[in-house]
Amino acid sequence: MTADPAYFQSMGIRLLAGRPFGPDDRAGRPPVAIVNEEIARKWWPNAQAAVGQRIKFGGPYMAGDVVEVVGVAANVSQMGLDGEQFALLYFPFAQQGSRSMTVMLRTAGEPAASIPAVRRRLSSLDRNLPIRSLVPYEARLGASLARRRFSTLLLGVFAGLAMILAGVGIYGVLNFWVGVRNREIAIRMALGAPRPLILRWAGSHALRLALTGVTLGVLGAWGVSRWLENMVYGVSAHSPATMLLAALVVIGITVVSSGLPVWRASCVAVDRNLREG
């Protein structure tokens, strides 16, 4: 692709070695190019070693241009945030030329507010100059991610429903467990078991349920993590932080859902249960 001297600064692309294009890189001067990190890593030991090397186009037995590598740029995602990195060469616009071009502008404020001023400026240069579109880069990037965002939103909705069902299920199981063990709890309390001990006993049962669910959930998440990685950009397939956060959420749901049943266990009426027994 072609680029002018200010392209890398405007786009925030770091130069790992060498220099950007300058005013001397124009027609009639020796052809130069900037390669991306992917090329430098594949063909040379490191980015510094790539600077000053020459690339010939056309094959070993064919006539072709020879360009000098003057810089190495960091990899950028040209085909989407989740696209694979591929070899990319940048050529000076002044040496290549083109009948059309894409202009990237860095603004100080809201990008959309600068569109009228840009149109006026281009019209003052040439009223017949066709303008295909003027779109903030964030809007163009958002449009490319619309489908992925919808899939992620749908996944989030299902995850929220799953958490609600998990909370209701934990509450039902513990409520049933307390109801079945009413007589046992009453005997424990009649024999002198203090209320804090009953709370810990019932709470440990709830904690065992939570740990069992977390273990099964981690194993299941480990199995489908590769699929989730393709849906969420920048999330590792086996991110420990994500797994830990999910486990803490499940434990939190368990604490909230089991609060009332566990408290009920410590409030069992001893006399009534013993008489019924």
pLDDT at residue number 274: 43
Task: Give pTM, 2 decimals.
Answer: 0.54
Q: Is the pLDDT of residue 242 over 80?
A: no
pLDDT at residue number 64: 62
pLDDT at residue number 271: 45
Residues 6+ apart with CB under 8 A from 9: 20, 106
Q: Binning pLDDT at 50, 70 and 90, where does residue 275 land?
A: very low
**Number of neighbouring beta carbons within 10 Å of residue 9:** 11
pLDDT at residue number 226: 63
Q: Is the pLDDT of residue 161 over 70?
A: yes
Q: Is the pLDDT of residue 95 over 60?
A: yes
pLDDT in tens, 192-241: 777 778 777 777 877 887 788 778 877 777 777 666 665 565 556 566 77
